Amino acid sequence: MKIGFKQFLLNENRAYLAQKAGAILTALHDLDQNAQGMGTRNLVKNAEGVANQIRRILHTHWPKREEYNLKQMQKIAVSLMRAIDEKSDLETTIKSSVQELEKMMGNMDAPVNQLASPEGLNAPPDQPDSGVSEPEKPDQQKQQPAIPVPPGGAPGVPQPVDGATPPAPQQPVM
């Protein structure tokens, strides 16, 4: 499969924008989850930080086809700053911003993260040697060889009396 350099750059830009949008989405999720435990001043400061992150993304050069996504991000930043300026319900604005950003990223068709496993590790189950062994069942476990104990017992270890379980060895106190 041959891909042209221009097409590669366009795909690279889309993946880069998706990565940046993913970072903003993570920050908005954190704000949404921690909003109840934060004070108003801290919530406002963090929301302004998210808006500034979006502003930095918007001031970067992007191809024309990303214009729609950038406008969506701009709407999110404007709604956050408007909620701060008008002292309206910032928590509700954050929740709606999360929903809008998730919808935008769903429409981007670009990977947000690279958490997939390498291709070679996903061997089909019908292959006998996949490189990963299955865990053994308790009845199939190998018997450990018994360690021979001298007739008088090991030095420093108390011996069981009448078949009782031996006490655990004590550690020296320093």
pLDDT in tens, 87-112: 888 899 999 999 999 998 888 765 55
Residue 157: per-residue pLDDT: 57
Domain contains 157? no
47 in a domain, yes or no?
yes
Q: Is residue 119 part of a domain?
A: no
The mean per-residue pLDDT over the stretch 77-94 comes to 91
In a domain, 42, yes or no: yes
Q: What is the pLDDT of residue 118?
A: 47
**Number of domains into which the chain is organized:** 1
> Is the pLDDT score of 146 beyond 70?
no
Residue 61 lies in a domain: yes
Average pLDDT of 27-51?
Answer: 90
Rounded distance, CA 51 to CA 80, Å? 7
Examine residue 25 and state whether it is found in any structural domain, yes or no.
yes
Q: Highest mean pLDDT range out of 31-35, 46-50, 87-91?
A: 46-50
Q: Vertex 158, ends 154 and 159: CA angle to 5°?
A: 80
Higher pLDDT, 64 or 51: 51
103 versus 169: the higher-pLDDT residue is: 103
Residue 98 token pair: 């999360």
Which residues form the domain of 79? 5-108
Compute the average pLDDT of residues 136-154. 55
19 domain-assigned:
yes
CB 57 within 8 A of CB 19: no
Q: How many CA atoms lie within 13 A of 157 on its CB side?
A: 14
Mean pLDDT of 55-80: 90
Single pTM value for the model: 0.57
SS3 per-residue string spanning the chain = CCCCHHHHHHHHHHHHHHHHHHHHHHHHHHHHHHCCCCCHHHHHHHHHHHHHHHHHHHCCCCCHHHHHHHHHHHHHHHHHHHHHHCCCCHHHHHHHHHHHHHHHHHHHCCCCCCCCCCHHHCCCCCCCCCCCCCCCCHHHCCCCCCCCCCCCCCCCCCCCCCCCCCCCCCCCCC
Of 52-56, 135-139, 160-164, the range with the lowest mean pLDDT is 135-139
| Mean pLDDT (whole number) for 70-88 | 92
Q: Is residue 73 part of a domain?
A: yes
Distance of CA 79 to the CA centre of its chain: 27
